[in-house]
Amino acid sequence: MPPKKTRTSRAGRLAQLGGLAAGQAAKHAGTRAANAFRSEEKAAEAIEARNLELAERLVAVLGTMRGAAQKLGQTLSMLDGGLIPPSHREEFQAKLAQLQDNAPKVPWAKMRKQIERDLGERLGSAFQEFDETPVAAASIGQVYRAVLHDGRQVAVKVQYPGIDTAVRADLKNLSLFMKVYGRTVHEGLDVQQLASELEARVLEELDYELEANNTRMVASAYNGHPFIRIPRVIRELSGERVLTTEWVDGKPLSSVYDADLATRNRVSEILFRFYSGTPYRLHMYSGDPHPGNSLVLADGTLAFLDFGLFKRVTAEDAEAELAGLRAGFERDAEAVLRIGHERGFVPDFEGTDAEELLRHTVTAGWWYFTDEEVEITSRRVNAVAARFADPRRPEYRFALKQNLPAEHAFRTRAEAQLSAVIGQLSPRINLHRVAREWVYGDPPATELGRLQLEWDREVGNVHTV
């Protein structure tokens, strides 16, 4: 009887998702029809209101779930971030934070069995102390604080018992919702690609052994770095469903939102160097620049966490991307078109206006494509994102004609998310000069850049792509 109840419950939740998508389809059609008789300002307000309602209902429906359904909400929220009106952004972020961080707690007795089963030993044998109250909870597990027998403090991430089975079952059923959502609400969304990406993302996050390997790789690459810290994995206390790492004492990024400009600039530059520079410097990158994956330490350095979503970059892809960046930086429209076509972004080479392509490319990368100090705020980030998501805008119509290959979709969305994270810090900074270090090999223009160069020389790093 219990198994049947579980299946019914899951079916009921999926029915809620289907009803949500269908309801939004009707409202979407109504909004489009009504907009034909509205002023541009009133039409924009109507679109904002509809998208805000969609976001709020997604949070409400998905917030009661775990696993794949909740991860779907997180992914769609990231994609729709630019559509949320600035006046409602703070409220929406608070609701999203609840979705991401306030997952239902699993009783300690069950979690303890999960730990002991995965490690193959009693809790007291593995740890000197173990706080049974989780310090954080996410969609597929909880994080605990513990002390090893040698006195080291550690973070222990533990998967919910049975979550892998539930997630895999949800992934099979969510494809219907994805199709309805994409077809009726976001006509320009590549639903098949997004569904495949979502499935791969969730399954990777279930693989703690993969995350442990990724974390070790990044920690080794940044060992001894002057302003980037990666917690080390405790290999002997990690397995398929348990991941133990060094404990890092730090504050969330939100703790510096109201700090002085110099502090906000420094934190923003470190985020940019890690998430945008690492793919070209070390041929690897983290695809999840969520603010919860970074901590500000007392000495001003940043610690980066959670490498479940991590990818390698080939030397060929890195060089092609750098060539595209150089063309954009130099405002070489013909080169931007040629490189975009060669990489599969621009399918219609002859029918694409090179100058228009360049203009939209620079618009999308406004926060680091221009060699000047710019103020990066959530309002500006959201405004630019909305231009590419509003069917009435030329940016939207132009983007529909282009293509985003599956292997690049992940990076593109991660960069968009990074701009949103930096926008919350509201820095006034010239990130173009920072990017030129890996785009052109220019000498550093900032103090952090000089520290980076000194460390590179000290450890013998040679960056060629």
Residues assigned a catalytic role: 288
Amino acid code (one letter) for 382:
N
| DSSP three-state, residue 445 | coil
DSSP 430: -
Task: Return the CA Rg of the chain.
Answer: 23
The C-alpha atoms of residue 247 and residue 147 are separated, in whole angstroms, by 9
Amino acid code (one letter) for 276:
S
- Token pair 């199709």 is found at 179
The C-alpha atoms of residue 453 and residue 465 are separated, in whole angstroms, by 17
Three-class HEC string of 68-134 = HHHHHHHHHHHHCHHHCCHHHHHHHHHHHHHHHHCCCCCCHHHHHHHHHHHHCCCHHHHCCEECCCC
Cβ-in-10-Å burial (0-12, 13-18, 19+) of 235 comes to exposed
**Could you count the other beta carbons within 10 Å of the beta carbon of residue 202?**
26
- Token pair 């994409």 is found at 182
The C-alpha atoms of residue 259 and residue 257 are separated, in whole angstroms, by 6
Distances in Å between the Cα of 461 and the Cα atoms of 225, 360, 453 are 12, 35, 9
Distance of CA 444 to the CA centre of its chain: 27
